[in-house]
Structure formats: C-alpha cells, structure tokens
Amino acid sequence: MIEVKESQSAAGSLMTEGHKLLPRSKRYHRGPYHVVKRIFDIVASAIALLLLFPVFLIVSIFVAFSSGFPVLFKQQRVGYLGKPFYIYKFRTMVRNAEDILKGRPDLMEEYNRNFKIEHDPRISKVGHFLRKYSLDELPQLLNVIKGDMSLVGPRPIVVPELAKYGDSQDMYLAMHPGCTGLWQCGGRSATSYEERIALDREYFEKAGLRFDLYIIFRTVIAIVTARGAK
C-alpha cells in the first residue's frame, strides 16, 4: 500500500549527534509554548483524522482506480535536530515516476536546482487535483501524531536540500517540520527557494500559539482558493 523512496543522500550522518549541530542559543527552547503546541498538535490531529476519515477513503479509491497501488507514498525527510523520518502522502505521481525522471536530463537538472519541477509530467490527473487543494498532504496528520512533525512549522525538506539553507541550517534544524507554514499560506509553489528559506526564518522568529493559529487560518484560505498551487 505504501511506496517508499529513499533520499539520494544518507541521512544517518544528520542523526548521529544531531543535538550537537545547534548552538544552545539556537535550540529554540520555550517550554510552555512547546508543551501547549504539542498538546494542540495531538488533539487537533486526532480530531481531524476522525472527521476526515471519509475523505481519506474517497481519495484512496480515486488514487487506486486512476493509477493503481500503492495509494500512499513515503519519503525520508529531515526532522527536528536533523533526525530523519518518513513523511506520508497520498501518491500523486505515476508509478514509473523515477524512470521518467532518470530518462529526462532536463527534468533532473531542474529538480536538482529547485527540488521541484515547474510542469512535472510525472504527476497524474488525480494527482494534480490533490496537490491543488493539498489533499495529498492529509496523511501527514499521522506524522504529527507520531511526533515527527507539527501542524505548523517549516516546510519538510529532503536531505540534499539542507545545503541550500547555508547559515540558516541551525534555524531549520531547531524546529519540527510542519504540515503547514508560512510557505503554504504565503505563495506555495509561486515562491522562489530563497523566499521559502526567508519564510522559514520569519516563522522561527515569530512562532507562538497565536501565530500558529493565524497560519492555520491563512492556510485554509489558501487551500480553498488554490492560491499558488500547481
């Protein structure tokens, strides 16, 4: 049922002594906020999973009938303090997506440059719809329950992307990746990579429960209007 894709780089090196990657001043410890944030993550995600169960079922059926199994896709991403984890999504690409990428040097070059492809021929018709309304990301609620992610945080990245953060790597590693964040409600695919990093830093500097709720509200608006989605 689940398609597994490993990161192109070994993530174990990030995991070995991840806590030592961050100076104490950058570890982002704000006890009360993090306790409340974690409680909110668990309660809200559990309620969402219960309420959205029919949506999960319908999406699974559409994915299976449109492009077969597996229905779910998982891929290794960089987590808190550099610990790798597997992120869950509904599969939006055709089953031979990797073969298509390997056979198209132009696409591979674009992916290696931006870690996304503007007009990606690997995405199925159902996949385009799921991405437009972020339905493919619903299984990430399971990651939140497990503690790999938070409802709000920086965009989950693959290991090779971390190099693009340069001096901002410590900032990124100090936070749990989020199902949503300033990137998702601030332009999504319409933003450049430099803008994504700037948005992650803005969240790092402003994060708080009120700010998280504000981002969730803006995300709902962005999803409903499909603003910035491709």
Q: What is the DSSP string of 29-70?
A: --HHHHHHHHHHHHHHHHHHHHHTHHHHHHHHHHHHHHH-S-
Average pLDDT over residues 107-131: 76
Amino acid at 105: P
* In-domain check, residue 108: yes
| Residue with the larger pLDDT of the pair 81 and 101 | 81
Count: domains in the chain: 1
Sign of the Cα pseudo-torsion (213, 44, 143, 82, in order): positive
Per DSSP, what are the bridge partners of residue 76?
86
- 136 pLDDT band (50/70/90 cuts)? very high
* In-domain check, residue 208: yes
pLDDT for 43: 97
| Residue with the larger pLDDT of the pair 177 and 124 | 177
* In-domain check, residue 51: yes
- 190 pLDDT band (50/70/90 cuts)? low
What's the chain's length in residues?
A: 230
pLDDT for 185: 79
Place of tokens 């992916």: 111
Tokens, residue 133: 């309304």
Residue 174 · residue 26 · CB < 8 Å = yes
- Residue 4 scores a pLDDT above 60: no
Helices and strands counted in the chain (H then E): 11, 5
* In-domain check, residue 230: no
- 25 pLDDT band (50/70/90 cuts)? very low
Q: Which domain holds residue 63?
A: 2-225
- Residue 8 scores a pLDDT above 50: no
Euclidean distance between CA atoms 86 and 148, whole angstroms: 8
- Residue 113 scores a pLDDT above 60: yes
- 17 pLDDT band (50/70/90 cuts)? very low
pLDDT for 137: 92
Residue 171 · residue 121 · CB < 8 Å = no
pTM of the model: 0.79
For the chain, percent of residues with pLDDT exceeding 70: 75
Tokens, residue 86: 């597997």
Place of tokens 């509200």: 217
pLDDT for 61: 94
Highest mean pLDDT among 81-95, 114-128, 137-151, 153-167: 137-151
- Residue 51 scores a pLDDT above 60: yes
Place of tokens 């901002």: 168
Alpha-carbon Rg for the chain in angstroms: 17
- 145 pLDDT band (50/70/90 cuts)? very high
| Residue with the larger pLDDT of the pair 9 and 92 | 92
pLDDT for 216: 93
Least confident range of 4-13, 32-41, 210-219: 4-13
Residue 51 CB-density burial (10 A; 0-12 exposed, 13-18 middle, 19+ buried): exposed
